[in-house]
Structure 1
Amino acid sequence: MGRLTARERIALLVDRSTALPRTAPLSREALRAGPTAPPGASARSGVAPQPLNPADNALPLRSFFELGLWAADGMYAEAGGVPAAGVVVGLGRVAGRLCVIVANDATVKAGAFFPMTCKKVLRAQRFAMENCLPILYLVDSAGVFLPMQDEIFPDEDDFGRIFRNNAVISARGIPQIAAIMGNCVAGGGYLPVMCDTLLMTEGSGLYLAGPALVKAAIGQEATSEELGGALMHSAVSGTIDYREPNDELCIERLRRLVGKLGAGPHTPFNRTTPRDPARPADRIFDVVASGVGSAGVLHGDAPPAGATVTAADTRGSPDVTVGQYDVRELLAHLVDADSFDEYKAEYGQSIVCGFARLDGWAVAIVANQKKQVKPARGGLQFGSVIYVDSADKAARFILDANQMKTPLLFIQDVNGFMVGRDSEQDGIIRAGAKLVNAVSNSVVPKITLITSGSFGAGNYAMCGKAYDPRFLYAWPCAKYAVMGAAAASKTLLQLEIDTLRRKGHEPQDTELAALQQRITEHYETSMDIRYAAARGWVDAIIEPARTREVLALTLEAVAYVGDLPELRTGVFQV
């Protein structure tokens, strides 16, 4: 068969009998059309690749859960685009063992490393380190993309950090196996060599400098095989452990080696026999869609008049506007039937907390309540807003989850913290600080799902990316920003007007309208969850119908971590 593509290699590597979830379709058209939309263009076209059907002789969706599929989307236009950042990353079961898989995509700029490629590989290594998962590298890369070397080479979270992580992962006893099935040149050569086990196919190259560079540097004539061929590294330098004639046999050997790995750490977490949810898992978005056009308010913007729900909307279209809904109804589609024990149900009602089971795994849930609630004292509280009482409750619940050694699942649909005189006098800053402290210092695994809005400090308090969730997912309709578009665009417009006036120019109405439109369009683009995913701020955009499936896999991925460290919170606001 000759050299295979990255996804063809993964298709041979992973077990065929497993059923891992797929990510949401990648193209904007596919997102609007729903999960049955046809695949888009190939990686060679410069359009971001999609998960393909098994019938397409590509990656079986049921065998591999791809992460970071949106990486670099819309970026590096000057280089022609870099679909998925030129590397395929995900969770796959190999010889029965759940592993992190990293495969360079040589169909994209010869597998060269761009800044987002580094970020994506570092995130994959973090998946392995935090969750004690074996990590497998399928290496086929031309090394650093030289025109952008200044953005890839020097910093603490750039290219060199990958090799540092290789050493740390090895020191922690987490298995690393690399298979070179193509080029592996310059500094990139250190990655496979720093792994526990190294395989290499004939016709591949592993060297710090190729023939042309060697001749230019020291005037020596040498062939690729002499410098870094599989036979040379097998018989002369002794660098590699296994020499294989082709990709297929190399992957076959890799599967056998993974099958011989010793058992990983034990799990400190609780699991029983799974039960189906009380309501169909694949209809979870019905709960959110039922709120479209209601009296609810989403991130400060009223739903458009006459808003309706289409068939595409119920799959989580990026264009859907969400109104009020009861998050408990959403949980009924997500957790095992009759397993949810709500914590302090009548107090701090704008955040719903409770212990449940998901696919049998015990899980502690912290979820924003989308509908308005009526506390025992005071007036109505808005949905998606964190109040003093709900912040206090959530902080205490997070401590309880750590005490009980139960992983945390945060379900974000949050506008931020309540503002105003009454809220400030009640101590909203103190309560918010307490919640942020609890989230920051929690030692049990944290998983975050963004179902709709994720705004401002609410993102922080509900375990946004800065607070170390092991995995962070979002639905296609999710939004991500400091504040909503309406409020932000008004503020930005006023700043533009002030700048023009300082220059002695008084803008006319037509000019103001054009400015407003430009500012709003730019801000709305940056709020889109695809913008966030392109920059690695979320790990995957998932179809709502597959949320339970994805979270079940994720709970398994975070489970086998051995003993947990002691919880310490430092100074805790009271």
Structure 2
Amino acid sequence: MTVIRSKLDVRSEEYRERREAMLGKLAELDSEHAKALEGGGRKYVDRHHGRGKLLARERIELLLDPDSPFLELSPLAGFGSAFPVGASVITGIGVIEGVECLIVANDPTVKGGASNPWTLRKSFRASDISRANRLPVINLVESGGADLPTQKEIFIPGGRMFRDLTRASAEGIPTVALVFGNSTAGGAYIPGMCDHVVMVKERAKVFLGGPPLVKMATGEESDDESLGGAEMHARRSGLADYMAADEQDAIRIGRAIVRRLNVRKDPPPVAVPPVCDEDELLGVVPEDLKIPFDPREVIARLVDASDFDEFKPLYGTSLVTGWASLHGYPIGILANAQGVLFSAEAQKAAQFIQLANQRDIPLLFLQNTTGYMVGAEYEQNGMIKHGAMMVNAVSNSKVPHLTVVMGASYGAGNYGMCGRAYDPRFLFAWPSAKSAVMGPAQLAGVLSIVMRESAASRGLPFDEEQDAAMRGMVESQIEAESLPYVLSGLLYDDGIIDPRDTRTVLGLCLSVIHNAPVRGAGGFGVFRM
């Protein structure tokens, strides 16, 4: 066995400082997650409970198998926007009757569950995950439709939700709607396009236009129940396949539907815990990301038995590549060691990615990169060609990719190490992560040089004081924009996770990935040599 021998000194002052810094970041993360957990706030939560209704998270908890995990996705969606954190919808992966399912639950305590622009983005991401991994989709519906003040950002792209449901059904991916309350306007098409529909008696209201709109459009007088009640849809329109007595009954019926889906999957492989303690991941990443760290210390605390068979260990040493198992599933790993990617690292990565595709092995990218190396010598030696070779390999690789941003994720290194634009099946960040076109000081410095050269070319004096102020302002701006909360709020990752949970999260993702066939690429684009 090729067990990694950890050199991490957990008794050192350096380790203690790194651990304390990470714990501080996790405390900040907990406070941000709390905003999503509180939904629309105590007033609206109490009002919802006062009507005898369960909260969205309570519905999810009852729906899932007892003591099974729930991998919530994009919990910070909308961070920094005018909308509440979480975007009025909960998405995630959980196990129902032994079947891994993608769950989408409207949060009616936030503007009645109305969809805003971030709701769409979050829902689209969930839909992509469902289709890529062939996960049944369970919609827990209670929504007032579109947030009307922002309809121009919702109406036209929002049609994709219905398109995705019908395409999933055509591809044999089951879709289920459990309707607990209002499902109005565009929201009515969610149950309308699902394979299976359950409505709660005297609670579910599904109609294209409510009584006020019908009155305005046609002059007809109507009421909620005759227009779109569960009883009407179960007995007359046929939209409801089942009418539940109450919310708990709807969840019982939903679980029964999943049990009868005939979804089959091979039993999970045997997993062996790492030799090294996962808790020690708190003290690996420095507070200052310019200080390098050895990613083998991370790998040793993620993979089974801390066993890692390194590929090309003496070549391109600022990128660590190799083979391992994680929760019993085979995995190929690419991890940044010293941050910068040189030509050797790019060529090494391209070959390794090809090998993984040849063997049908998923890939895990552990990011801590400042990008590809610049400078005359490196350009002359073909840095662009070799960087393009790595990006080509990542772009055309067909095995599933998982990405974890541990530290820096700057420049084209983000692309070569499978950032969001390269469609990893899942992408998570640690609280220590930062991502931008380049580091704040470098970006501000580039702008300063350009401004200085511009002034010189025009024969004008250069204002050093103004330059210093500009650099400070730009550095602050880029620093703020590259923080993980901001990027997670923009849905550039699937969530910020505690480093100690990384092995568990990746294990869940690998299990989900294997609901669909894992097949490598049959060919790649032209590699410039």
In the alignment, structure 1 residue 353 sits paired with structure 2 residue 321 = yes
Partner of 1:236: 236
Report the CA distance between 1:498 and its aligned residue: 9.6
| Correspondences of 1:28-47 after superposition (within 5 Å) | 31-32=26-27, 39=34, 42-45=38-41
- Over the residues paired in the alignment, what is the CA RMSD in angstroms? 3.0
| Correspondences of 1:275-354 after superposition (within 5 Å) | 275-289=272-286, 303=288, 321=289, 323-354=291-322
- 2:94 is paired with a residue whose SS is strand
Question: 1: distance between equivalents of 2:76 and 2:195?
Answer: 30
- 1:150 is paired with a residue whose SS is helix
Question: 2: distance between equivalents of 1:30 and 1:348?
Answer: 32
Partner of 2:221: 221
Report the CA distance between 1:226 and its aligned residue: 1.3
Partner of 2:260: 260
Report the CA distance between 1:517 and its aligned residue: 3.4
Cα gap change, 1:413/1:230 in structure 2, threshold over 3 Å: closer, same or farther?
A: same
> Quick check: 2:104–2:139 contact (8 Å CA) kept in 1?
yes
Structure 2 residue runs without a partner (length 5+): 1-22, 46-56, 62-66
Cα gap change, 1:182/1:281 in structure 2, threshold over 3 Å: closer, same or farther?
A: same
| Correspondences of 1:503-514 after superposition (within 5 Å) | 512-514=467-469
> Quick check: 1:398–1:442 contact (8 Å CA) kept in 2?
yes
Question: 2: distance between equivalents of 1:29 and 1:148?
Answer: 36
Cα gap change, 1:36/1:491 in structure 2, threshold over 3 Å: closer, same or farther?
A: closer
| Correspondences of 1:64-463 after superposition (within 5 Å) | 64-76=70-82, 81-154=83-156, 158-202=157-201, 203-264=203-264, 272-289=269-286, 303=288, 321=289, 323-369=291-337, 383-463=338-418
Q: What letter is aligned with 2:191?
A: P
> Quick check: 1:110–1:141 contact (8 Å CA) kept in 2?
yes
Partner of 1:300: none
> Quick check: 1:355–1:364 contact (8 Å CA) kept in 2?
yes
Give a deviation string over 1:413-444, Cα, whole Å, max 9, x none.
01000111221121111111111111111111
Report the CA distance between 1:189 and its aligned residue: 1.2
Question: 2: distance between equivalents of 1:32 and 1:352?
Answer: 31
Which is further off, 455-464 or 507-516? 507-516
Report the CA distance between 1:454 and its aligned residue: 0.4
Q: Percent identity?
A: 39
Q: What letter is aligned with 2:39?
A: A
Partner of 1:296: none
Report the CA distance between 1:29 and its aligned residue: 7.9
> Quick check: 2:361–2:520 contact (8 Å CA) kept in 1?
no
| TM-score normalised per structure 1 | 0.79
- 1:419 is paired with a residue whose SS is coil
Partner of 1:8: none
- 1:349 is paired with a residue whose SS is coil
Report the CA distance between 1:115 and its aligned residue: 1.1
Partner of 1:20: none
Report the CA distance between 1:412 and its aligned residue: 0.5
Question: 2: distance between equivalents of 1:356 and 1:205?
Answer: 51
Cα gap change, 1:176/1:58 in structure 2, threshold over 3 Å: closer, same or farther?
A: closer
Partner of 1:567: 522
Report the CA distance between 1:322 and its aligned residue: 6.0
- 1:284 is paired with a residue whose SS is helix
Report the CA distance between 1:134 and its aligned residue: 0.9
Q: What letter is aligned with 1:226?
A: S
> Quick check: 1:437–1:569 contact (8 Å CA) kept in 2?
yes
Question: 2: distance between equivalents of 1:563 and 1:418?
Answer: 33
Give a deviation string over 1:349-388, Cα, whole Å, max 9, x none.
111111101111110001111xxxxxxxxxxxxx111111
Cα gap change, 1:228/1:470 in structure 2, threshold over 3 Å: closer, same or farther?
A: same
Question: Would you tell me which structure has more helix in proportion to its own residues?
Answer: 2
Q: What letter is aligned with 2:328?
A: G
Question: 1: distance between equivalents of 2:143 and 2:250?
Answer: 17
Question: 2: distance between equivalents of 1:552 and 1:141?
Answer: 33
- 2:75 is paired with a residue whose SS is coil
Q: What letter is aligned with 1:146?
A: L
> Quick check: 1:83–1:108 contact (8 Å CA) kept in 2?
no
Give a deviation string over 1:522-544, Cα, whole Å, max 9, x none.
22111101111001100010001
- 1:182 is paired with a residue whose SS is strand
> Quick check: 2:359–2:520 contact (8 Å CA) kept in 1?
no
- 2:285 is paired with a residue whose SS is helix
Question: 2: distance between equivalents of 1:527 and 1:242?
Answer: 48
Report the CA distance between 1:572 and its aligned residue: 2.3
Question: 1: distance between equivalents of 2:406 and 2:41?
Answer: 31
